Chains A and B, each alone.
Chain A
Amino acid sequence: MKYIFSILSLLISASALYAQNGGNLKVRIKGFADSYHAVRVEKPNDWMSSRTRLRGELSLAKNNSELFVSANAVYNSIIDDYSGFKLRELFVSQTFGSFELRAGRQIITWGVADALRITDLVSPMDYSEFLAQDYDDIRIPENALRLKFTKNSFAAEALAVPLIETFELPTDKKNPWAVSLSDNDSIVMGSKPDFKIENMEFGGRLSWFLSGVDFSLYALRTFNKMPVFSLNYLPEKQMILYYDNYHRMTMTGMDVSVPLGKFVFRGEFAEYYNEAQQPDVNQSIVSKNTANALLGVDIYPGGDWNISLQYAHKYICNYCKGLNSYCNSGTATVRISKDLFRSTLNVNTFAYIDVANGGVYDRTTFDYAVNDMLHVALGFDYFNADKGMFRMYDKNSEIFIKAKYSF
């Protein structure tokens, strides 16, 4: 079902491009081939990831119409299911004066946060290797219809998603990034919302990009795309069954960016109405209103240094017992980046800090441009947590190597 909308877009696009007389057909092709391999630094020093991929992107544009296709051909030597051809994006866009209509499978990015989601709730995340992937690979496209209006420094956007995508979670126990369960326990997936009018996701954004300040307002009727699991303990089998659940929720929010000298301050705030909460074992799922806020600062000290700090806080209103989360919780991120040798070597470290639980995940990368097309990267993923979201990956610290040829 998820590709039907994309194929429909392809047909509409092909007809639109074909029907237009005059104008030159602009063809743009880009892509890359990359190979990524990671080894656990702790015993048993097994392969954590080993995949090779070819990404192709094609844009066909004529007059005011465009067709865009992006796809991956992947060979994954650890998880067979991840090998194969995968369509990423396939959409058609048509411009009418100040309006642009875009239909099809597309990545939608909202907000000003970096790698944290406050207002950025449309495109879900692929956690098949948790966060140990490039952030641009993590987004899952949605089959959406988007209408944009732009005039001077103002932009308005309305979107509708007939059939939503949800987070991809690693449940295959062969996957070193699998959600860790005891041998007895089991995850039962399959409650994703069906294709029904009442399950449609819809919303919009109003944005202003002005001298000295950007800000946006958001509203979205959506689902919790990261599932909450109902945990059913079966005493006769001494096991827990995890069932995924997706509930309706509404988000209203805003973001702002203000440059000030060598700093850019960023902020996001969103209220989630009736957000489903992860319950404890044998407790039922309840929905609560939650307040979500982020403050961030990017620092540009010069000398090709770049530093970025963020703190995101979540507050659950009317907190009650039986929830598997804190009333107040926070996540911080730290990014430090430096270009060396005339931008041929980039050293970057990015850390997530689970403030409520004291856990840390840090990825440090040395990325060297061998020539215009070829980059080789060497890096280290470090996990340290006794509880919280990084706990299950506490033994997953790894070193990795990646080669990427872009064309």
Chain B
Amino acid sequence: MRKIMLFAAALLAAYSAEAQTLTGRDIVKKVKDNPDGETRYAKMDLVLEKANGSKRERKVESWAMDIGEDTKTMMFFTYPGDVKGTGFLTWNYDEIGRDDDKWLYMPALKKTRRISGSSSKTDYFMGTDFTYDDMGDRNIDEDTHELLREETLDGQECYVVESVPKDKREIYSKRISWIRKDCFMGMKVEYYDKLGKLHRVLNISDIKQVQGFWTRGRMVMENVQTHHKTIISFSDTQYNLNIDGDMFNVAKLEKGM
């Protein structure tokens, strides 16, 4: 019993020491390093909702594979009809300053086009409230991170971290993130515009474990200045699928799902 007490005390001390020494960057790195398998698949349902309540919808299926710090992603639209079959292939590089490689397949033209890998980061993705940068994997050293405080949000102990972009051309001046202490998953992010006013708020819910991996079920991004919001619901999420690395090439993009 004494040994167990000693072990528990040591664990507690280690945990407290870690909490005291964790910097903002450490916390964000833990979020980024959260295990999510070598490969992933998910269906995404994107609902775009105007302030007057009118809605538009997009449906997407996505496959991803990690190769070291880099990620290859294949994504196809399945709804609505006019974009059904449109595919994006992205080779996302973690290295700061290195442009991603991107291809767009347009089924109506039966044609694949190489598109810019750097330009669209600050544009909104398909009319949603998410920028291309929000949808991708941002290198943690593109921002300066500071742990502001620890607080409880919706019953969960969280770190509150402020992230300020080093590149002043970014569309926001800072982000404040609420990150769950138990699983290092983000629960909420506030985006502030160049004037320092709150611009967008992201709420993440339905966080659960799938195949042992912490997984987001639903994300709601609201532009609090226009009251337009985008709701992304994930379903059929799978990890460590038996995907051939050969899948993430242009020939497969043209072949379709």
Chain A residue with Cβ nearest B85: A30
Query: Which residues B68-97 have CB closer than 8 A to chain A?
Result: 79-82, 84-85, 91
Contacts of A174 in B (CB 8 A): none
Query: Which residues A338-352 have CB closer than 8 A to chain B?
Result: 339, 342-344
- Cα separation A136 to B67 with both chains bound (whole Å): 36
Chain B residue with Cβ nearest A114: B113
Of B27-35, B140-148, B189-197, B244-252, the segment with at least 4 beta carbons within 8 Å of chain A is B244-252
Of B15-23, B116-124, B151-159, B173-181, the segment with at least 4 beta carbons within 8 Å of chain A is B116-124
- Do A109 and B249 contact each other (CB < 8 Å), given the known contacts A211-B91, A212-B101? no
Query: Which residues A17-50 have CB closer than 8 A to chain B?
Result: 30-32
The minimal Cβ–Cβ distance linking A31 to chain B, given in whole angstroms, is 7
- Interchain CB contact under 8 A, B99 and A150: no
- Interchain CB contact under 8 A, A303 and B123: yes
Interface residues on A, range: 35 or more
- Interchain CB contact under 8 A, B99 and A259: yes
- Do A300 and B84 contact each other (CB < 8 Å), given the known contacts A211-B101, A372-B57? no
Q: Among the listed B91, B99, B251, which residue makes an inter-chain contact with A155, where contact means beta carbons less than 8 Å apart? A: B251
The minimal Cβ–Cβ distance linking A236 to chain B, given in whole angstroms, is 49
Chain A residue with Cβ nearest B89: A209
CB of B166 within 8 Å of the partner chain: no
What per-residue 1/0 map shows which CB atoms of B112-146 lie under 8 Å from chain A? 01111111101110111000000000000000000
What per-residue 1/0 map shows which CB atoms of B96-111 lie under 8 Å from chain A? 0001011100101111
CB of B227 within 8 Å of the partner chain: no
- Interchain CB contact under 8 A, B251 and A406: no
- Do A151 and B115 contact each other (CB < 8 Å), given the known contacts A109-B109, A109-B110? no
Chain A residue with Cβ nearest B118: A261
The minimal Cβ–Cβ distance linking A341 to chain B, given in whole angstroms, is 8
- Cα separation A177 to B114 with both chains bound (whole Å): 34
CB of A371 within 8 Å of the partner chain: yes
The minimal Cβ–Cβ distance linking A131 to chain B, given in whole angstroms, is 15
- Do A343 and B126 contact each other (CB < 8 Å), given the known contacts A155-B250, A302-B119? yes
CB of B149 within 8 Å of the partner chain: no
Q: Among the listed B57, B91, B109, B127, which residue makes an inter-chain contact with A136, where contact means beta carbons less than 8 Å apart? A: B109
Chain B residue with Cβ nearest A111: B111
- Interchain CB contact under 8 A, A148 and B251: yes
- Do A209 and B228 contact each other (CB < 8 Å), given the known contacts A344-B127, A404-B82? no
Q: Among the listed B82, B116, B245, which residue makes an inter-chain contact with A32, where contact means beta carbons less than 8 Å apart? A: B82
- Cα separation A170 to B249 with both chains bound (whole Å): 40
Contacts of B82 in A (CB 8 A): 32, 373, 375, 404, 406
Contacts of B102 in A (CB 8 A): 259
- Interchain CB contact under 8 A, A261 and B116: yes
Give the interface centre of B81, B102, B108, B124 by most chain A CB atoms within 10 Å.
Answer: B81
CB of B201 within 8 Å of the partner chain: no
Chain B residue with Cβ nearest A106: B110
What per-residue 1/0 map shows which CB atoms of B39-57 lie under 8 Å from chain A? 0000000001000000011
Contacts of A212 in B (CB 8 A): 101
Contacts of A238 in B (CB 8 A): none
What per-residue 1/0 map shows which CB atoms of A210-235 lie under 8 Å from chain B? 01101000000000000000000000
- Interchain CB contact under 8 A, B119 and A262: yes
Contacts of B80 in A (CB 8 A): 372-373, 406
The minimal Cβ–Cβ distance linking B222 to chain A, given in whole angstroms, is 14
Contacts of A100 in B (CB 8 A): 255
Q: Among the listed B84, B85, B103, B127, which residue makes an inter-chain contact with A342, where contact means beta carbons less than 8 Å apart? A: B127
- Cα separation A263 to B119 with both chains bound (whole Å): 8
What per-residue 1/0 map shows which CB atoms of A344-381 lie under 8 Å from chain B? 10000000000000000000000001011101000000
Contacts of B127 in A (CB 8 A): 339, 342-344
CB of A153 within 8 Å of the partner chain: yes
CB of A278 within 8 Å of the partner chain: no
- Cα separation A257 to B66 with both chains bound (whole Å): 25
Contacts of B85 in A (CB 8 A): 30
Contacts of A261 in B (CB 8 A): 99, 116, 118-119
- Do A304 and B123 contact each other (CB < 8 Å), given the known contacts A32-B81, A135-B109, A214-B114? yes
Query: Which residues B210-254 have CB closer than 8 A to chain A?
Result: 228, 245-246, 249-252
What per-residue 1/0 map shows which CB atoms of A142-183 lie under 8 Å from chain B? 000000101111010000000000000000000000000000
- Do A259 and B114 contact each other (CB < 8 Å), given the known contacts A30-B85, A209-B250? yes
Contacts of B250 in A (CB 8 A): 153, 155, 207, 209, 214
CB of A112 within 8 Å of the partner chain: yes
CB of A301 within 8 Å of the partner chain: yes
CB of A298 within 8 Å of the partner chain: yes
- Interchain CB contact under 8 A, A298 and B115: yes
Chain B residue with Cβ nearest A265: B114
- Interchain CB contact under 8 A, A407 and B249: no
Contacts of B101 in A (CB 8 A): 211-212, 259
- Interchain CB contact under 8 A, A300 and B111: no
- Interchain CB contact under 8 A, B57 and A150: no
- What are 12 inter-chain pairs, A to B, with CB distance below 8 A? A139-B110, A148-B251, A209-B103, A211-B101, A259-B116, A259-B118, A264-B114, A300-B115, A300-B116, A302-B123, A343-B127, A406-B80
Interfacial residues, chain B to chain A (CB-CB below 8 A): 48, 56-57, 79-82, 84-85, 91, 99, 101-103, 106, 108-111, 113-120, 122-124, 126-128, 228, 245-246, 249-252, 255
Interfacial residues, chain A to chain B (CB-CB below 8 A): 30-32, 98, 100, 107-109, 112, 134-136, 139, 148, 150-153, 155, 207, 209, 211-212, 214, 257, 259, 261-264, 266, 298, 300-304, 339, 342-344, 369, 371-373, 375, 404, 406-407
**Given pairs A136-B106, A300-B120, A342-B127, 14 additional interface contacts (CB within 8 A):** A32-B82, A136-B108, A150-B252, A155-B249, A211-B101, A259-B118, A262-B116, A298-B115, A298-B116, A304-B124, A339-B127, A343-B124, A371-B56, A407-B81
**5 smallest beta-carbon distances between A and B, as pairs:** A406-B81, A343-B127, A300-B119, A150-B251, A342-B127
